Amino acid sequence: MALRLHGTYGITSDKYNGLSHLDSARVFLEGGFKIIQYRGKRPDGTELQVREQIKQALEIKELCRSYGAAFIVNDRLDVALEVDADGLHIGQDDIPMKTASKAFNGVIGISVSTAKQAMLAEHDGASYLGVGTIFPSGTKKEGEPIIGLEGLADVCRLSPLPKFAIGGIEVSLLPSIRKAGADGIAVISAVLRHESGYERVAAAREFVRKWAALEV
């Protein structure tokens, strides 16, 4: 599947309201998101066993196919290869981009927080960038810098790669994020934190609608 590397990008979590990773993927997909990243973590941030990650990844991939959405695996090259994912997303402390690109033929994204990291990612063969953390977020890893809109703009000015803003993304902030040069947004809590299924899907649809209006 050819990935559209822009727009709204949902990241799964089982941290909110008793939702499973599959449930959270379904929320984003029903809301119109066209890229789903499976992040095989427990609510406390520890990784699930590989067999469980493979099982969940296959279920979410099948669901993505039914919605015509792209499926990306976070961190785990072995899981991405086993389930034939459309893409792999890695962090600065994960497998090196050069190594990943030799083993994986799909799209590969990488998290960056500086223009220097972005330029290196382009040199090493990245397909897109996850830029952040933009704003304070409950899913932010300890030690990750908050780069704000200014940091986002710095990366966007210097890198020609597609760029997704991540970290504390709210609907009200979308115009500023788009103005800074982002090609898309990655969302977790702003959609999944809502208590009812109706509210979650409505929140996802609002992100899709407002971002699409900014892309025109």
Catalytic-role residue among 26, 34, 39, 163: 39
Establish whether 111 is a catalytic residue: yes
Catalytic-role residue among 24, 111, 113, 127: 111
> How many Å apart are CA 177 and CA 170, to the nearest integer?
10
Establish whether 193 is a catalytic residue: no
Establish whether 15 is a catalytic residue: no
Beta strands 128-131 and 107-112: pairing type? parallel
In 3D space, the residue among 121, 120, 109 whose CA is nearest the CA of residue 166 turns out to be 109
Catalytic-role residue among 20, 140, 205, 210: 140
- Distances in Å between the Cα of 76 and the Cα atoms of 44, 90, 91 are 18, 8, 10
Report the catalytic residues. 39, 111, 140
